[in-house]
Structure 1
Amino acid sequence: MFTLLAKNEEETMEIAAQLAQLLEPKDVILLEGNLGAGKTTFTKGLAKGLGIDTVIKSPTYTLIREYTKGRLPLYHMDVYRLEDVGGDELGFEEYLYGNGVSVIEWAKFIEEELPDAYLTIRLVPAGEFYENREITFLPTGERYATLVETLRGILMKEGQ
């Protein structure tokens, strides 16, 4: 686990783009944070790092947005609307165990569907006008522990 501070949206996106360089098929990223915390901004950075140049929008009303024109497909999910019903029988396993990267917002509503290993990224607005973001990387499983240590080394080298 480690936490760093992004001073603006551009830094948030650059950190995400660096992470994207390390991602592989079947990787699962859980984004945590309140409304306006920067979850979609972080996803935009992941998409940029994966070579996806499509406009990235929040999937709040569609549940899942698929972006397939990059190094790896990106599946951006917002499962907040499943709070009362859960994710049974919605086919999440096709995404989670498919050939792309799954990014899930509000994953606590589909915990039963999640794989055993994943990377949780917590975004918390900080600073006088909430322009900064504290970004905390919380790995679950050996693959993600290694990934986080590699990312930490890259970001520390670049002075993030």
Structure 2
Amino acid sequence: MEQMLPDDAATAQLGAELANTLQPGDLVILEGDLGAGKTALARAIIRTLTGDPALDVPSPTFALVQPYEMARGPVLHADLYRLGDPREVDELGLLDNAAAIVLVEWAERSPEIVAAATHVVSLSIPPGGAGRLVTVRRQQR
């Protein structure tokens, strides 16, 4: 699926739609350059999954992983941008809980995470800079 997201409201709507399709054990890769909207989309997904539209969802850039609890299990939001070595991902425990829904930004820094992905969401800034172009792919397990 490929579509144009003209504004933040459209990004939030897509995040809600994606959240409603996710199951425990799903690992979602969020791809795109800096400023492409990865964290904004993750916020919308997490807010929908937790049922809290006002939830503070900070970027995990410095913490590397932000955990959230919901009734049906944990949600982990990770940012691997600052990962120094792909082997460091094991210390984050992203694949340790089969009941977790995991959202990962900058996953290309860990081949192990890329291989475990169930969904890949690619975001890009179109020529002219207005809105975002998004492609969503479901991966085979």
Which TM bucket (shorter chain)? 0.7 to 0.9
For residues 9 and 45 of structure 1, what CA distance do their matches in structure 2 show?
10
TM-score, with length taken from structure 2: 0.86
Query: Alpha carbon RMSD of aligned pairs, Å?
Result: 1.9
Tell me if the contact between 1:123 and 1:136 (Cα under 8 Å) persists in the aligned partners.
yes
Following the alignment from structure 1 to structure 2, what is the Cα–Cα distance between the partners of residues 134 and 101? 24
1:119 is matched with: 119
- Separation in structure 1 between the aligned mates of residue 58 and residue 116 of structure 2, nearest angstrom: 28
* 8 A Cα contact 2:28 2:117, kept in partner: no
After TM superposition, where is structure 1 displaced by more than 6 Å over at least 4 residues in a row?
A: none
Structure 2: stretches of 5+ with no match in the other structure? none
Structure 1 position 71, deviation (Å)? 5.0
- Alignment of 1:92 with 2:94, yes or no, is yes
Question: For residue 81 of structure 2, what is the aligned residue in structure 1?
Answer: 80
Higher-Rg structure is: 1
Q: For residue 29 of structure 1, what is the aligned residue in structure 2?
A: 28
Aligned pair 1:134/2:126, yes or no? no
Q: 1:126 to 1:71 in 2, by over 3 A?
A: farther
Secondary structure at the aligned position of 1:57 is classed as coil
Aligned ranges 1:1-160 → 2 under 5 Å: 2-50=1-49, 51-53=51-53, 54-69=55-70, 71-82=72-83, 84-86=84-86, 87-90=88-91, 91-94=93-96, 97-126=97-126, 128=128, 130-141=129-140
1:115 Cα deviation from its structure 2 partner: 4.8
1:5: Cα distance to partner?
A: 0.5
Q: CA offsets, 1:65-90, max 9 Å, x none? A: 011145543210001111x3113531
Q: Which has the higher helix share?
A: 1
Q: What is the percent sequence identity of the aligned residues?
A: 28
TM-score by length of 1: 0.77
Q: Distance in 1 between matches of 2:127 and 2:109?
A: 30
State the secondary structure of the residue aligned to 1:65: strand
Letter of the aligned partner of 1:110 in structure 2? S
Aligned length: 137
Is there any run of 5+ residues in structure 1 with no aligned partner, and where? 143-160
Contact 2:16-2:48 at 8 Å conserved across structures: yes
Q: Out of 130-139 and 110-119, give the one that drifted further.
A: 110-119
Is the 1:60–1:80 Cα contact (8 Å) retained in structure 2? yes
Query: Aligned equivalents of 2:20 and 2:133: distance in 1?
Result: 21
